[in-house]
Amino acid sequence: MKRYCLALDLKDDAALIAEYETYHKNIWPEIAASITDSGIDRMEIYRTGNRLFMIMEVNESFSFEAKAKADAANEKVQEWETLMWKYQQALPLAKPGEKWMMMEKIFETKTPSAPQRGN
């Protein structure tokens, strides 16, 4: 399973942030279907202040290109994305039109193997 981590900002407004979180506590069924149908097995979004951090675990059928194409053809996804943009803002380093930005993993711990015991 492959994991992707992405970041995005919300507008720095407490009322808008609360609304955004309310939408995400009960996402539309069509949005949930578009996520799972694209090959995303698990998606989590975390927030600190107005910064969002998304973790996606995907299976072998997932591709960003196929997801973008399916989303562009899905009227309900487009409605959701337009609504969410009311709350979101691009990261300062984003290119025009870029929303969620891929993060680069720079550190990982690995648990050492347990030592082998002799007979």
pLDDT at position 116 is 64
DSSP secondary structure string, 13-54?
Answer: -HHHHHHHHHHHHS--HHHHHHHHHTTEEEEEEEEETTEEEE
In angstroms, the CA 83 to CA 79 distance is 6
CA proximity to 14, closest of 62, 57, 59, 49:
49
Per-10-residue mean pLDDT, the chain, length 119: 97 98 97 98 98 98 97 98 97 93 95 66
Q: Which domains does the chain have, with CATH numbers?
A: 2-102 (3.30.70.1090)
In angstroms, the CA 34 to CA 31 distance is 5
Type of residue numbered 115: P
DSSP 70: H
pLDDT at position 114 is 62
Q: What is the sign of the dihedral through the CA atoms of 88, 25, 51 and 65?
A: negative
